[in-house]
A = this chain, B = another copy of it.
């Protein structure tokens, strides 16, 4: 790591009120150097190369901390257990970033899509699923 990177990490920690520990710094650097959508286990494997004594729990805790601080995001707020969609009407989802509650919004009420059916990447489009992320009414009261 460069001194610039270390300095930047300390700045980020200061901004978010986090203690600048060695484990966090390595985790930060590892995450920045990864591509795609790594799982905690994958991240752990990389951190472990640089800190062999690191614990998986520490990786989990600090990933959550980085996400809570807004330093990184999670790929989807829907991860977790399986949920069945029983609404057969075309609709999308309002997902609360605080409590993770999901409510439905009819496709026509969202009214923002002009669906291109082909994408240059060779991906065959079947449909779009839009998550509107934000705060549900009851979570707008809390700060």
Taking Cβ atoms with an 8 Å cutoff, the residues of A that contact B are 31-32, 34-40, 43, 63, 67, 72-76, 78-87, 93-94, 96-97, 102-103, 105, 109-116, 119-137, 140
Residues in B with CB closer than 8 Å to A123 are 94, 96, 103, 132, 134-137
Given that A34-B86, A83-B74, A84-B75 are known contacts, is A124 also in contact with B129, CB under 8 Å in the complex? Answer: no
How far does the Cβ of A103 sit from chain B's closest Cβ, in whole Å?
8
Bound CA span A99–B78, Å: 17
Q: Closest residue to A116 on the B side, CB-wise?
A: B112
Residues in B with CB closer than 8 Å to A35 are 86-87
Bound CA span A23–B31, Å: 46
Q: Which of B111, B115, B121 contacts A116 (CB 8 A)?
A: B111
Residues in B with CB closer than 8 Å to A75 are 78, 83-85, 93, 102
Residues in B with CB closer than 8 Å to A82 are 39-40, 63, 74, 79
Establish whether residues B72 and A84, one from each chain, have CB atoms under 8 Å apart when the complex forms: yes
Residues in B with CB closer than 8 Å to A85 are 37, 72-75
How far does the Cβ of A104 sit from chain B's closest Cβ, in whole Å?
8
